[in-house]
């Protein structure tokens, strides 16, 4: 199981950085870049290009495939030849992007170009010339590739580059646990858990959800000394279905009594992911959508249309924040004019042909409305059949997941623990 | 390109060269960075080779790495210069810093220069036994690279044996990399035609792998799972054990680990005879697959393709989860298409209402391609679930009433299939369909409507008028429409001779005289002859009872499905094609597949091999030089496929096909094992591909025709052939 390499393309489809491709001809990566650019140019919508592109005759030995993903304006490519798992390529691309995030904060063509030496070193450390991913755990990587920090810059200006390598370098991978650095020390031992839940729903015309699923994630920021062995007990854990875990979690233990037993990596990491399905009496296991959208009128006339919408929060205690409602007005849409409630805004994006309606904060049980009309160059405009509504709820989780207990063994101190909840939603509301 | 012997006198490279020789350390380092930057964007900096080389001996690890990067890039073109660096490399493998040791050994393995390799063996030997696990795991992968370049060196130095010992290493990362290296060597050895297995998984190794599986990194787990999939367990106890140990991996965060585990379980489950246990494994496999749908669309797509495949084998696994597959408005098209297909697969009496209202919603979307597929899905649902057929027809009627051209046309095509499946049930909708005659401009839709009119000619009062419209424009229509018009008019004439005589006369005239398609002409002649000699026979042929249609449960041949399932997360399972047909690594093709087959295999497995060979044979057909007497057997493989598809259901049929022997395995061998028994036939690659492309054609129930060939066409021409 091995991929052939990695290529990063900028917004115009030109390669910025690519791995060595040492065991193939120079044309091999170029052919893949070309195939992808060609496919994108040919497709009416660039996002509709098959994610695993079949590239014929790229190598002397036969055909290959090109797995590609888009992050921001950049595209990450991974050619594979032979019968390889494309998920392997996608998982590696995702991991590499995460690493770049760790190192540079944001990823853009400019940051990559400015730090190409670091990116190159990262590529070398994470991907073997034979295509095997090597070290991808951020904890271990930091030992071997220095992040571009102020310290290294200062040191390099002062001309003492020899010092720039940390003393820990003399024993990399000395830790018996691959994901955790050895010899971590903190003055304050703290660990924070962020429960982030995302509601994904499709709501039918009559207001009943056709499907609604909550995907949850527990992010963790660990600042604990030594080698702590944690035992985390969650309330409501029986409601969590289909959980998947960071490699540090002992799976057998979860299978036995639904507690999380693990030695955490240092710093930020994703502890677990799950699907929340309430064990309710209804067979559908649906989570209710925290608002209602009433489409009072939605008339399509010749060369335009009128609409009258009202959005009501169904929450009673917390506000819905950063609510964005989008509607694609169809090919040929040329403009819109609307009246919105106080504290809300609207605009029409002539590039994406979307009507945006933004509400910074929707207080509990309140109603906001949008009334207006749009024009189109098409005789019978065909706007999208559904509104897309995104929102956030701070300090809230659909599953009401709580930490019941956190036990620490293996170290003498008592850690401070904190937990936060946050919910987001992405709902499709049909009219 | 400037030669390295004569350094450039001006320009950027000249300045860089000066900087590389600067007395200030920082200036040199910056210069190296610039060189690498230029190298990345494809500028030729090979002329600076000697200057860069001078900077190799340094305490600064970062600088060392950059110089090594440069060397790796240009070693191929300037091998004689790389020799100058060998001493530093060898010295570095003795460095006190394990990072430097690992870096040196890794770089040496990557240089791919013959001259370096001779110096590699001793340091490699040392590094494989290094104290530091990082060095050991790097060295393990280096062995695989060395094998790629000079296999004999690996054998001479006993590196493979060392690697096999290293599977028992205390560090799981080392174990994982060792497994990866051994797998690579194994693949390379097989591709080179080596008969000796390099990486045999013994029960002892198996246990070590299972232990390491829980401890190493995600990438290592994938490697180990791949190795486990290769292991052939001697009894069902061990298979069970492997499955149980692998099941927890389904909860890993990395999608490729999850699908890797699914693959191992699918393979080893074949040996598990306990129905209970099988069910349990299947139940555990379903939720992780659904979880994959929370990932970005690319991963979703791969997951969906694999779910689709799994569902063809086990259609019960996700029966309660259909809602998860509902399409969102802004899903990419490739995801929507897969979701649609899976939804229809999961459709049952209990969820058909939800499915239909969902499909109706999709049919009003903007994306034409998706709308068409949704309408097709409605038709497939109607054919799949008898009880829901009427509801489906009602939905289709509603859609036809929207009067959107492409919706109407697709709905008409779908209605034709419903008429085939449920003859004489929904005649009430015919007037609505006919009312939309003017809207139709696509050949398939036209042909479908004409077929319906012809089929129900005696029930439609103005059938002659309607058909007359098409007869008038006969020569302007496309061939499928012409063929359908011809057949429909003959049907009309046979059912209502009075009043349609002129019509049939004129169309037979036009078709035989003014038509340039031999198919149309020939069919017209046949009809003419039939009608003039024996109207009774004509009736028997043209109005004969048509075999019922059903939805194919699988889109690939059953034997191929087995093979694909054991390939689960790989490209083969994503493309739903065997790997041999699209990735030809070296000589893996007909020959090697045949080699694999030559060993005695269990019954169903060898059937799989055969299906594979057929496809591979078709693939390689263009390479005619390959067809010596070995490939003469390939020519018979179309029949091999036909036999295997039948074999899967009825072994008796295989006996019929292949001869007299009573042992099915013998029959399989006789089909294409011995040239002497059967006459040598010329290769028929077209058939081989055709057989693969439409597995439906080889089995009695005729599948839902998706392409522009309405079923009646096939049926009636088949009947005709039978008559003569």
Whether B446 maps to a domain, the answer reads yes
pLDDT band at B553 (very low <50, low <70, confident <90, very high): low
Is the interface score ipTM higher than 0.90? no
Whether B39 maps to a domain, the answer reads no
Does residue B723 carry a pLDDT above 50?
Answer: no
Question: Average pLDDT in the B417-426 region?
Answer: 85
d(CA B665, CA B583): 30
Does residue B714 carry a pLDDT above 50?
Answer: no
- Residue A390: strand pairing partners: A324, A426
Does residue B519 carry a pLDDT above 80?
Answer: yes
d(CA B637, CA B659): 15
Q: Which of B376, B389, B385 minimizes the C-alpha distance to B419?
A: B389
Q: Which of A182-196, A273-287, A355-369, B698-712 has the lowest mean pLDDT?
A: B698-712
Chain B residues within an 8 Å CB radius of A244: 251-253, 258, 288, 291
Joined tokens for residue A330: 């169809």
Whether B506 maps to a domain, the answer reads yes
Whether B519 maps to a domain, the answer reads yes
CB A233 within 8 A of CB A259: yes
Contact B40 A246 (CB under 8 A): no
Percent of chain A clearing pLDDT 90 (strictly above): 10
Whether B445 maps to a domain, the answer reads yes
Buried b (16+ CB within 10 A) or exposed e, B142-163: bbbbbbbbebebbeebebbebb
pLDDT band at B340 (very low <50, low <70, confident <90, very high): very high
Q: Which of A84-88, B507-511, B544-548 has the lowest mean pLDDT?
A: B544-548
Phi and psi for A212 in degrees, rounded to 5? -145, 125
Contact A244 B258 (CB under 8 A): yes
At residue B392, the pLDDT reads 92
Measured from the Cβ of residue B118, the count of other Cβ atoms closer than 10 Å reads: 11
Question: Average pLDDT in the B540-560 region?
Answer: 75
At residue B601, the pLDDT reads 40
Please give, rounded to a whole number of angstroms, the shortest distance from the CA of B218 to a CA of chain A: 7
Does residue B705 carry a pLDDT above 80?
Answer: no
Whether B480 maps to a domain, the answer reads yes
d(CA B144, CA A122): 22
CATH fourth-level superfamily of A291-394: Mu homology domain, subdomain B (2.60.40.1170)
Assign A125 to helix, strand or coil. helix
Percent of chain B clearing pLDDT 70 (strictly above): 76
d(CA A334, CA A331): 9
Assign B474 to helix, strand or coil. helix
pTM above 0.80, yes or no: no
At residue B613, the pLDDT reads 55
CB A37 within 8 A of CB B565: no
Higher pLDDT, B127 or B657: B127
At residue B560, the pLDDT reads 72
Chain A residues within an 8 Å CB radius of B328: 200, 202, 428
At residue B373, the pLDDT reads 92
List of E strands, A1-71 = 7-9, 15-18, 52-59, 62-71
Would A7-158 and A190-286+398-430 be classified into the same CATH topology? no
In B, minimum Cα distance to A249 occurs at B252
d(CA B319, CA B351): 9
Question: Average pLDDT in the B151-177 region?
Answer: 86
pLDDT band at B171 (very low <50, low <70, confident <90, very high): confident
Does residue A235 carry a pLDDT above 60?
Answer: yes
Q: Which of A106, A123, A172 minimizes the C-alpha distance to A3?
A: A123
pLDDT, tens only, A180-212: 877 788 888 999 999 999 998 888 888 888 888
In A, minimum Cα distance to B186 occurs at A1
CB A398 within 8 A of CB A423: yes
Question: Average pLDDT in the B105-129 region?
Answer: 83
Phi and psi for A369 in degrees, rounded to 5? -130, 160
Question: Average pLDDT in the B199-224 region?
Answer: 85
At residue A284, the pLDDT reads 53
Higher pLDDT, B321 or B489: B489
Whether B491 maps to a domain, the answer reads yes
pLDDT, tens only, B376-398: 999 999 988 888 889 999 999 99
pLDDT band at A61 (very low <50, low <70, confident <90, very high): low
Question: Average pLDDT in the B98-114 region?
Answer: 83
The alpha-helical segments, DSSP class H, found in B422-500 are: 430-435, 443-455, 463-472, 479-495
Measured from the Cβ of residue B43, the count of other Cβ atoms closer than 10 Å reads: 12
At residue A157, the pLDDT reads 54
Does residue B374 carry a pLDDT above 90?
Answer: yes
C-alpha distance from residue B387 to each of A78, B421, B441 (Å):
47, 13, 32
Joined tokens for residue A256: 């036995």
pLDDT band at B457 (very low <50, low <70, confident <90, very high): confident
Please give, rounded to a whole number of angstroms, the shortest distance from the CA of A223 to a CA of chain B: 22
Whether the CB of B291 is below 8 Å from some CB of chain A: the reply is yes
Q: Which of A317-321, B581-585, B665-669 has the lowest mean pLDDT?
A: B665-669
Please give, rounded to a whole number of angstroms, the shortest distance from the CA of A197 to a CA of chain B: 12
Q: Could you tell me the residue ranges of all domains in chain A?
A: 7-158, 190-286+398-430, 291-394
- Which B-chain residues 65-124 have CB contacts (< 8 A) with chain A? 65-66, 69, 72-73, 76, 96-99, 106, 109-110, 112
At residue A173, the pLDDT reads 58
- Which B-chain residues 446-475 have CB contacts (< 8 A) with chain A? none
Provide CATH code, domain A190-286+398-430.
2.60.40.1170
How many separate domains does chain B show?
1
At residue B663, the pLDDT reads 40
Whether the CB of B422 is below 8 Å from some CB of chain A: the reply is no
Rounded to 10°, the helix B479-495/B443-455 angle is 10
User: Which of A82, A164, A210 minimises the CB distance to B326?
Assistant: A210
Does residue B450 carry a pLDDT above 60?
Answer: yes
CB B540 within 8 A of CB B532: no
List of E strands, B119-189 = none
Higher pLDDT, B688 or B355: B355
Q: Note down the domain range covering B520.
A: 431-543
C-alpha distance from residue B307 to each of A68, A234, A396, B296 (Å):
21, 31, 33, 16
CB B226 within 8 A of CB B183: yes
d(CA A223, CA B424): 74
Higher pLDDT, B238 or A241: B238
Q: Which of A272-276, B75-79, B160-164, B626-630 has the lowest mean pLDDT?
A: B626-630
Mean pLDDT of chain A: 82
Enter the DSSP assignment of A115: T
Higher pLDDT, A341 or B359: B359
CB A134 within 8 A of CB A128: yes
pLDDT, tens only, B617-652: 444 443 333 333 333 333 333 333 333 333 333 333
The CB-side HSE value for A19 (13 A sphere, CA atoms) comes to 28
- Residue A62: strand pairing partners: A59
Please give, rounded to a whole number of angstroms, the shortest distance from the CA of B9 to a CA of chain A: 27
Whether B527 maps to a domain, the answer reads yes
CB A307 within 8 A of CB A298: yes
**Which class in CATH covers the domain with range A7-158?**
alpha beta
Higher pLDDT, B136 or A277: B136
B424: left (phi over 0), alpha (psi -120 to 50) or beta: left
Q: Which of A258, A260, A282 minimizes the C-alpha distance to A271?
A: A260
Joined tokens for residue B2: 């400037």
d(CA B108, CA B120): 7
Joined tokens for residue B653: 């049929």
Please give, rounded to a whole number of angstroms, the shortest distance from the CA of A125 to a CA of chain B: 9
Joined tokens for residue A322: 């950063």
Chain B residues within an 8 Å CB radius of A144: 99
Assign A112 to helix, strand or coil. helix
Q: How many CB pairs under 8 A join A and B?
A: 262
Does residue A391 carry a pLDDT above 90?
Answer: yes
pLDDT, tens only, B275-318: 888 888 888 887 888 888 888 888 888 888 888 888 888 777 78
């Amino acid at each position: 199981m091995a991929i052939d390499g990695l290529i990063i393309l900028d917004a115009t489809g030109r390669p910025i950085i690519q791995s060595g491709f040492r065991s193939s001809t120079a044309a091999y990566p170029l052919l893949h870049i070309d195939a992808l650019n060609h496919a994108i140019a040919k497709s009416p919508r660039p996002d509709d290009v098959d994610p695993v592109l079949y590239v014929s005759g790229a190598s002397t030995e036969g055909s290959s495939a090109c797995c590609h993903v888009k992050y921001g304006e950049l595209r990450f490519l991974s050619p594979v030849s032979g019968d390889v798992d494309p998920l392997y390529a996608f998982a590696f691309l995702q991991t590499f992007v995460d690493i770049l995030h760790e190192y540079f904060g944001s990823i853009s063509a400019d940051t990559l170009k400015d730090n190409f030496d670091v990116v190159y070193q990262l590529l070398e450390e994470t991907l073997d010339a034979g295509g095997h991913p090597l070290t991808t755990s951020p904890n271990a990587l930091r030992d071997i590739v220095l992040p571009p920090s102020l310290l290294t810059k200062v040191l390099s200006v002062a001309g003492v580059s020899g010092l720039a390598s940390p003393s820990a370098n003399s024993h990399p991978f000395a830790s018996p646990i691959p994901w955790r650095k050895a010899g971590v020390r903190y003055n304050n031992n703290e660990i924070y858990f962020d429960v982030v839940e995302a509601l994904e729903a499709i709501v039918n015309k009559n207001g009943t959800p056709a499907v609604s699923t909550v995907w949850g994630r527990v992010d963790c920021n660990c600042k604990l000394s030594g080698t702590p062995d944690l035992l985390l007990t969650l309330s409501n854990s029986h409601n969590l279905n289909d959980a998947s875990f960071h490699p540090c979690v002992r799976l057998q233990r979860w299978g036995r009594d639904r507690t999380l037993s693990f030695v955490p990596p240092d710093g930020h990491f994703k502890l677990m992911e799950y699907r929340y399905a309430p064990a309710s009496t209804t067979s559908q296991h649906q989570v209710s959508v925290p608002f209602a959208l009433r489409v009072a009128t939605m008339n399509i006339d010749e060369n335009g249309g009128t609409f009258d919408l009202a959005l009501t929060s169904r929450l009673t205690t917390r506000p819905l924040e950063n609510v964005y409602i989008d509607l694609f007005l169809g090919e040929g849409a040329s403009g819109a004019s609307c009246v919105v409630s106080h504290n809300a805004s609207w605009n029409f994006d002539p590039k994406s042909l979307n009507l945006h309606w933004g509400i910074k904060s929707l207080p509990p049980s309140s109603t906001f409305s949008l009334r207006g009309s749009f024009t189109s160059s098409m005789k019978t405009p065909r706007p999208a059949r559904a509104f897309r509504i995104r929102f956030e709820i701070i300090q809230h989780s659909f599953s009401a997941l709580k930490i019941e207990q956190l036990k620490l063994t293996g170290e003498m101190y008592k850690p401070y623990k904190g937990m936060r909840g946050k919910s987001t939603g992405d709902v499709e509301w049909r009219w | 390109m400037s030669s390295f012997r004569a350094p450039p006198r001006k320009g950027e490279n000249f300045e860089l060269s000066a900087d590389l020789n600067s007395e200030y350390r920082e200036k040199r380092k910056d210069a190296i960075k610039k060189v690498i930057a230029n190298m990345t964007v494809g500028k030729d900096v090979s002329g600076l080779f000697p200057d860069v080389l001078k900077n190799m001996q340094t305490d600064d690890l970062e600088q060392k790495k950059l110089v090594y990067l440069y060397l790796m890039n240009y070693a191929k073109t300037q091998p004689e210069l790389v020799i100058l660096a060998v001493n530093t490399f060898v010295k570095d493998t003795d460095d006190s810093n394990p990072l430097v040791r690992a870096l040196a050994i890794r770089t040496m393995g990557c240089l791919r220069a013959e001259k370096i390799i001779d110096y590699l063996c001793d340091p490699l030997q040392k590094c494989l036994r290094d104290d530091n696990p990082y060095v050991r795991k790097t060295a393990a992968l280096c062995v695989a690279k060395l094998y790629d370049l000079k296999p004999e060196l690996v054998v001479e130095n006993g590196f493979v044996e060392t690697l096999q010992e290293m599977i028992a290493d205390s560090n799981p990362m080392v174990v994982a990399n060792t497994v990866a290296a051994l797998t690579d060597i194994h693949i390379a050895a097989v591709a080179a035609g080596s008969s000796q297995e390099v990486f045999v998984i013994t029960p002892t190794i198996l246990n070590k792998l299972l232990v390491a599986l829980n401890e190493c990194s995600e990438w290592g787990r994938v490697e180990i799972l791949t190795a486990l999939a290769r292991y052939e367990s001697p009894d069902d106890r061990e298979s069970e054990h492997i499955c149980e140990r692998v099941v927890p991996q389904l909860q890993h965060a990395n999608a490729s680990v999850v699908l890797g585990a699914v693959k191992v379980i699918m393979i080893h489950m074949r040996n598990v005879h306990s129905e209970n246990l099988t069910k349990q494994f299947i139940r555990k496999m379903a939720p992780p697959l659904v979880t994959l749908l929370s990932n970005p669309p690319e991963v979703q797509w791969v997951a969906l393709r694999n779910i689709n495949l799994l569902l063809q084998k086990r259609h019960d696994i996700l029966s309660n989860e259909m809602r998860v597959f509902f399409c969102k408005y802004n899903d990419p098209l490739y995801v929507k298409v897969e979701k649609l297909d899976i939804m229809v697969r999961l459709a049952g009496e209990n969820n058909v209402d939800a499915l239909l209202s969902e499909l109706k919603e999709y049919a009003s979307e903007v994306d034409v391609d998706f709308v068409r597929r949704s309408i097709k899905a409605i038709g497939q649902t109607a054919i799949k679930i008898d009880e829901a057929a009427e509801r489906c027809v009602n939905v289709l009627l509603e859609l036809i009433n929207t009067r959107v051209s492409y919706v109407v046309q697709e709905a008409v095509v779908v209605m034709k299939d419903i008429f085939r499946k449920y003859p004489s049930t929904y005649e009430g909708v015919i007037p609505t369909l006919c009312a939309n005659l003017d809207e139709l401009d696509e050949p398939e839709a036209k042909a479908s409507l004409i077929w319906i009119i012809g089929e129900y000619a005696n029930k439609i009062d103005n059938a002659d008028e309607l058909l007359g419209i098409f007869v008038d424009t006969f020569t302007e229509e496309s061939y499928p429409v012409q063929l359908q018009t011809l057949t429909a008019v003959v049907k009309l004439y046979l059912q209502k001779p009075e009043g349609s005589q002129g019509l049939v006369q004129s169309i037979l005239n036009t078709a035989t005289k003014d038509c340039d398609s031999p198919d149309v002409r020939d069919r017209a002649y046949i009809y003419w002859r039939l009608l003039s000699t024996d109207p009774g026979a004509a009736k028997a042929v043209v109005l004969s009872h048509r075999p019922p249609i059903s939805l194919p449960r699988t889109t690939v041949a059953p034997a191929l499905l087995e093979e694909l399932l054991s390939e689960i997360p790989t490209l083969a399972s994503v493309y739903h094609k065997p790997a041999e047909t699209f990735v030809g690594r070296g000589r893996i093709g007909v020959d090697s597949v045949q080699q694999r087959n030559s060993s005695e295999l269990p019954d169903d497995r060898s059937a799989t091999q055969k299906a594979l060979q057929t496809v591979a044979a078709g693939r390689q057909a263009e390479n005619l030089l390959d067809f010596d007497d070995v490939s003469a057997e390939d020519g018979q493989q179309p029949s091999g496929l036909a036999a295997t598809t039948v074999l899967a259901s009825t072994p008796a049929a295989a006996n019929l096909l292949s001869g007299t022997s009573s042992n099915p395995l013998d029959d399989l061998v006789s089909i294409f094992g011995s040239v002497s028994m059967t006459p040598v036939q010329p290769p028929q690659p077209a058939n081989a591909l055709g057989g693969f492309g439409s597995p439906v054609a080889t089995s009695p129930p005729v599948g839902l025709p998706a392409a522009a060939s309405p079923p009646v066409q096939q049926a009636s021409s088949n009947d005709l052939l039978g008559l003569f």
